[in-house]
Amino acid sequence: MNVFPALGKGSLLIKVAFLLVALLALLPGCDRPSPGRESAEPAPPSRDYGPPVDGGRLLQATLAEPMNLIPALSTDSASHAVAEHLYVAPLKYDKDIKLVPWAAESYEVLEDGRLLRFRLRPGIRWWDGVELTAKDVEFTYKLMIDPKTPTAYAEDYLAVKSFTVTGRYSFEVRYDKPFARALVTWALSILPEHALAGQDLMNTKYSREPLGCGAYKIKEWLPGSRLVLTANAEYFEGRPHLDELVLRVIPDQATQFLELKAGNLDEMGLSPYQYLFETNGPEWKERFRKYEYLSFGYTYLGYNLDSPLFSDVRVRRALDFAIDKEEIVKGVLAGLGVPAVGPYKPGTWVYNESLKPRAHDPGRARALLAEAGWRDTDGDGLLDKGGRPFAFTILTNQGNTQRIQAATIIQRRLRDVGVEARIRTVEWAAFIKEFVNKGRFDALVLGWNITQDPDIYDVWHSSKAEPGGLNFVHYRNPELDELLEEGRRTLDQNRRKRIYGRVQEILHEDQPYCFLYVPMSLPILQARIQGVAPAPAGIDYNFYQWWIPRELQRPVLER
């Protein structure tokens, strides 16, 4: 499952940004290329520019600024999108979404998965010249299990029985029982002991001036404007070809699109409307390349289950019947996506094919609401109970037009069954800090990214229904808790499929979220960018091999 809420724009783990366009109701679907491949739209033959060269800069857009560049402390996708360039981990995912060594030179899985042995590559250096060693991994582990560390990701590390440094570059991890996410745990960032030891993590300069050893360093951060990352010439896998990566903070996609057309951006995530209707014709084919693949994330309407409005499962099922997901996919995504029925990506091994989205059925919705005691007793068209009308506010983040449009359709369909839903948008940082983390919402439209292991313990287990926890809707189900605990202790894939198949059934029955849709990722890049090679992981997995021919490079930014 995911490790942080998705803000918007799409890459391997995250990212989908959207244009403010008129609501497209019931737009028919269209023929589309296969997921993970370049768009089938004809493009002129690519010129042979010869072998890759270094230099130049690439401009991307982000809807929001990072909140904290210490990965263990951040739960927003904007922060992780930057941090993934700054830090390294023992393991990483390759183009086929398989775990492979990264900072680790090698690793062994022994004793039926209860013992892991790692050997790090010698010579990896933090940007200040200090060498990365197994002591840094040990420090990271201890930091993550420290109850004083304000992290949402401790659970994987707490599953470890013992961590032992066995040499300057080697360590071993022992579990008292099999743990399915054992290897995934060691694909999370290593932190520098010599910099962070003794620091007050909530008040340290390293949250904005990080010390990493990744492929890029922070060169400049102008709040509200841009972040500039510069290539690390000492990066142990070889310096990336691009000298600079510039992340421009542009909080709405309409403006991003204008900047793309003007040549002031090299890459962005298109809205379906832009993809289908605004990026066609000879000039677009010559200047840009478009890609399309089913994203690694889903969008949902989540309920505050501590609210009496949503405590009755009949009400939540009624809302699921009232909301027309096909209408959202056609109207908001222009057919470029699929209705969601749970927290997993369709087509993956764990996905429960037997579950189908509830059909749009206002009659069933009204009947269930009536069963739960909601009736229009005063004739005003709104349901009420005990003198209280069924009215609530849907929160979502500013700049994500796709979510706002989905909320608008939801609002209309709920009004059809006598429920009033107001819509409020909030700036991203305030949305997360003041509303999501503090549980100050009735309902919200938000997205989760989907990682490759199906363990969703951190989002759905009852123990995570706490302040700052990722189970911020406060869903509690003892059967689900047992299944989540069993699933992460089971290595056999067939058995795990049965476990998580039942997990999906419970979530479908209980509806703590109304799962809305899985969108297509629709990145577009300037044609001058070379080395892009679509794969099951998307297009960003080999970003450090992207390059720009010397005659087409932008000069780097002067400070």
Q: Encode pLDDT of 123-143 as tens digits.
A: 999 999 999 999 999 999 999
Count the alpha carbons within 13 Å of 362 in the hemisphere toward its beta carbon: 9
Superfamily of domain 91-205: Dipeptide-binding Protein; Domain 1 (3.90.76.10)
Q: What are the residues whose beta carbons fall under 8 Å from the beta carbon of 187, sequence distance 6 or more?
A: 89, 90, 91, 92, 93, 99, 102
In terms of Cβ atoms closer than 10 Å to its own Cβ (0-12, 13-18, 19+), residue 45 is exposed
Is residue 34's pLDDT more than 80? no
**Window from 14-23, 182-191, 531-540 with minimum mean pLDDT:** 14-23
Sole residue written with tokens 């983390």: 437
Q: What is the residue extent of each domain of the chain?
A: 91-205
The answer to whether the CB of 431 falls within 8 A of the CB of 400 is no
Q: Is 227 helix (H, G, I), strand (E, B) or coil?
A: strand
Confidence at residue 428, expressed as pLDDT on a 0 to 100 scale: 85
Identify whether the C-beta of residue 71 lies closer than 8 Å to the C-beta of residue 59.
no
Burial of 279 (0-12, 13-18, 19+ CB in 10 A): buried
**In whole angstroms, how far apart are CA 222 and each of 208, 233, 249, 464?**
11, 23, 9, 35
| Pick from 124, 336, 160: nearest CA to 237 | 124
Contact call for residues 476 and 45 (beta carbons, < 8 A): no
What mean pLDDT, rounded, does the chain reach? Answer: 90
Strand 15-16 relative to strand 37-38: parallel, antiparallel, unpaired? unpaired
| pLDDT band per the 50, 70, 90 thresholds, residue 12 | very low
Yes or no: say if 83 and 189 are a contact pair by the CB < 8 Å rule.
yes
Please state the rounded mean pLDDT for residues 486-515.
96
| pLDDT tens track for 321-356 | 999 999 999 999 999 999 999 999 999 999 999 999
Q: Phi, psi at residue 34, to the nearest 5°? A: -70, 145
pLDDT at 41: 38
Is the pLDDT at 44 greater than 70? The verdict is no
CA distance 89 to 101: 9
- DSSP states of 395-421: EEETTBHHHHHHHHHHHHHHHHTT-EE
Give pLDDT, residue 19.
Answer: 24
Higher model confidence: residue 489 or residue 512?
512
Whether the pLDDT of residue 479 is over 70: the answer is yes
Give 413's Cβ-side CA count (13 Å radius).
Answer: 23
Strands (DSSP E) found in 170-296: 170-174, 216-222, 226-231, 244-249, 267-269, 288-294
Name which of 348, 299, 355 is nearest 325 in CA terms. Answer: 299
